[in-house]
Structure 1
């Protein structure tokens, strides 16, 4: 069993995600071949987006926006105030709210479309585009704070309720059930890590719960599970790197992040492996980094990386607020 407290777990998750994101920002969109010639071994400055060292991107910004919503009193209930998250997302795109250095950059097309709809008054859960072509990783990259919501933290997990909560939160930017299922699987792994399971055991626990639940066949997720066959079958960890894609497609990002988590045994090795897969490096790094933070704790994140992380103190203060809200809603004995 883990000896970590909820407060330390929230810190580890948010810092772990932001550090993984920041490691990937300078080399985003560059190929795996480029990374093999020049692997990332630590924080870099400038590069793709010409940002200072330690800069994180939209992945962390929207994660922090969701965390702020969940830290509100209304965020402690079974129905978080997604209108609040929508307002924060608009503020991020329009006014650089929760950005590393007062500049919004690297905005995904589906996310931008959804926020434009929110600005025009579309209901948050209806804003995310819903076609099959709208399955980028923009919901997955920001969904981790939901793991600290009371619905996901109950001792006996109500999978139907967890699905509905996840679908609502994901649909603010990405409305297709494939995106929701990717988020759902990711949160199941996070739940196992929060319970103190090792990565391989958290992965196995996710597979058991998800596969049993998907057999019900009563929700849209069942028509999407074939896209996650490697993840759900247990075959993922045995795939060679050449079979692991690292594009911005939600399935690829989830596979890549879990593959790195399951093939490595430290925070640093996990996130560096994720970034050095190339292509959508910041998001793969962020998604893997959040889980690796939960798996190994804040102490496992190299000090030299944390020392240059943009707005570290603000992230830590947000973690305090989110942990406080989660503890206030905790009804378990």
Structure 2
């Protein structure tokens, strides 16, 4: 399972890095076809953001504690936020408002208006553990404690585990019992791009990511489609990329993109 974890984290990180230069750009005003640098955050090519930083911080805690330990995960998040650990270039350049508040105060936010994608983007490592639904919700609640955010994380980890077992994404979505606000997911592939929002709202991010992987046939196609949706390009792509690589394998990621990915040594050190 360890090599599959590495595949998934690389799939997430590469997609994150593809999206970083385009974050906040409007759909239709650009076309991402390859890994580039600079753009929105003025970062070198291959630079990943908070999505990957918080994901590998979670991995490192699981590696050190040999279990899901929310308190220890939170300590790693604080090391990232305060000391720029778990970053590609020793710099924190992107952090969501809810996450920043939670890491400053030590308390996750349980509020309808605090349903950004900041816990969804980092929850993938739990799919490679024997975690319970309660543990998934606890890890989400370190920053994002509202039911919509914790539910998104449960849905995502459930999908990832089923994909790891070889199940088909369309069948997985058809057979998950989902209520509002996630009731569009079972038929997400039938929607048009105009129906898909790619904002930082957790429901939009999960819908957009699943739409990208259910309407494409490769890792490359799915993550480029995600980046080209605009708005929260890095996170939508990261959420899509983590699942897409489980579906298609790391060999489906262009070698050039892996070579261009920043600070792979740090990523590798954090894997459990």
TM class, shorter-chain normalised? Answer: over 0.9
Alignment CA distance shift 1:314-1:294 (3 Å)? same
**Which runs of 5 or more structure 2 residues have no equivalent in the other structure?**
none
Partner of 1:269: 221
Task: Give 1:307 shift.
Answer: 0.6
Partner of 2:114: 134
Q: Equivalents in 2 of 1:317, 1:95: separation in Å?
A: 18
Structure 2 length as normaliser, TM-score? 0.97
RMSD (CA atoms)? 1.2
Tell me, yes or no, if structure 1 residue 198 matches structure 2 residue 190. no
Partner of 1:255: 207
Q: Give yes or no for contact 1:257–1:287 (8 Å, CA) kept in 2.
A: yes
Partner of 2:15: 20
Measured against aligned partners, the alpha-carbon deviations of 1:33-90 in whole angstroms (never above 9, x if no partner) come to: 21xxx31001011000000000000000000111111112342xxxx22221111111
Measured against aligned partners, the alpha-carbon deviations of 1:150-205 in whole angstroms (never above 9, x if no partner) come to: 13xxxxxxxxxx32111100000001010011111111110111102233233334
Q: Equivalents in 2 of 1:296, 1:245: separation in Å?
A: 25
Partner of 2:237: 285
Task: Give 1:313 shift.
Answer: 2.8
Q: Equivalents in 2 of 1:148, 1:168: separation in Å?
A: 16
Q: Give yes or no for contact 2:116–2:201 (8 Å, CA) kept in 1.
A: yes
Q: Give yes or no for contact 2:86–2:266 (8 Å, CA) kept in 1.
A: no
Three-state SS of the structure 2 residue aligned to 1:235 is helix
- Which residue, 68, 71, 75 being the options, matches 2:60? 68
Task: Give 1:91 shift.
Answer: 0.9
Q: Give yes or no for contact 1:137–1:179 (8 Å, CA) kept in 2.
A: yes
Structure 1 length as normaliser, TM-score? 0.79
Three-state SS of the structure 2 residue aligned to 1:278 is coil
- Which residue, 248, 268, 272 being the options, matches 1:316? 268
Q: Equivalents in 1 of 2:218, 2:16: separation in Å?
A: 17
Alignment CA distance shift 1:317-1:198 (3 Å)? farther
Three-state SS of the structure 2 residue aligned to 1:175 is coil
Tell me, yes or no, if structure 1 residue 164 matches structure 2 residue 138. no
Structure-to-structure mapping, 1:46-57, within 5 angstroms: 46-57=38-49
Q: Equivalents in 1 of 2:222, 2:71: separation in Å?
A: 35
- Which residue, 62, 65, 77 being the options, matches 1:89? 77
**Which runs of 5 or more structure 1 residues have no equivalent in the other structure?**
1-5, 119-126, 152-161, 215-224, 323-333
Measured against aligned partners, the alpha-carbon deviations of 1:284-305 in whole angstroms (never above 9, x if no partner) come to: 0100010011111111110010
Three-state SS of the structure 2 residue aligned to 1:285 is helix
Aligned length: 272
Larger radius of gyration: 1
